[in-house]
A = this chain, B = another copy of it.
Amino acid sequence: MAKVPSAAISRLVTYLRILEDLEARGVNRTSSEQLSEEAQVTAFQVRKDLSYFGSYGTRGVGYTVPVLRRELQQILGLNRRWGLCIVGMGRLGQALADYPGFDEHFDLRGFFDIDPTKHGLSFRGIAVEALENLPRVVAERRIEIGLIAVPADSAQSVANRMIDSGLRGILNFAPVVLEVPKEVAVENVDFLAGLSRLSFFILNPRLREEMIG
């Protein structure tokens, strides 16, 4: 297992979702052809992406949906739940705390804010704590991933405290590029960047066509 393109991993997430959907609909067998249609990539791509990690199908037949689903969950680390905490309980942090979408694969185990007026609040039955408590709470509640929902200018200092506290992954909603040691995984999920690209593509339909197909 070597030299996996980073983009392939994003596509694995898509394949997993399609498989979960197929399984929910009672479909037992699929093919690279069917997966490629749903994911809007080529069948070559699907097979190549899977081949980076192993051989999960049967030649001449295809893939068994629950088998491949389990394998992808295993690869992506979604066969277990991950402990998650949110730092920054402003509007965005509060909205995310109440968002039920995390629940399938993640477990919200802590909320933090520097602002003492926020410390009275509680979400999902868990009280918002002072940022000073981060290292202790991360250790006690076995939290692995931290979500940053603070303004851009304090995002880096929050990231530093997360790393010092032993968190191994950061989900960054602030519109800045974080500097972290390479053993810490960071994913930037600020959706306003997406909106910016969108307006560009609306302005430049011809250029977009050239790039996409």
- How many chain A residues sit at the interface, stated as a range, is 35 or more
Q: Which of A63-71, A92-100, A124-132 contacts B (4 or more CB under 8 A)?
A: A92-100
Q: Contact partner of A171 among B4, B102, B194, B205, CB < 8 A? A: B194
A102 B192 Cβ-Cβ under 8 A: yes
Question: Could you pull out 12 A-B pairs where Cβ atoms are within 8 angstroms?
Answer: A10-B197, A12-B200, A39-B177, A82-B195, A91-B99, A91-B100, A101-B192, A168-B202, A169-B199, A169-B201, A170-B198, A182-B213
Cβ–Cβ < 8 Å partners of A140 in chain B: none
Judge whether A142 is part of the interface by a CB distance below 8 angstroms: no
Q: Contact partner of A101 among B4, B77, B92, B198, CB < 8 A? A: B92
Q: Which of A110-118, A157-165, A183-191 contacts B (4 or more CB under 8 A)?
A: A183-191
Cβ–Cβ < 8 Å partners of A175 in chain B: 17
Judge whether A58 is part of the interface by a CB distance below 8 angstroms: no
Judge whether A61 is part of the interface by a CB distance below 8 angstroms: no
- Chain B CB count within 10 A is highest, among A82, A198, A205, for A198
Judge whether A6 is part of the interface by a CB distance below 8 angstroms: yes
* Bound complex: CA A21 to CA B77 (Å): 37
B101 A197 Cβ-Cβ under 8 A: no
* A167 nearest CB across to chain B (Å): 10
CB-CB contacts below 8 Å: A46-85 with B: 75-78, 82, 84
Q: Which residue of B lies closest to A168 (CB)?
A: B202
B185 A198 Cβ-Cβ under 8 A: yes
Judge whether A33 is part of the interface by a CB distance below 8 angstroms: no
Q: Which residue of B lies closest to A74 (CB)?
A: B203
Q: Which residue of B lies closest to A145 (CB)?
A: B198
A200 B77 Cβ-Cβ under 8 A: yes
CB-CB contacts below 8 Å: A1-50 with B: 1-6, 9-10, 12-14, 16-17, 21, 38-40
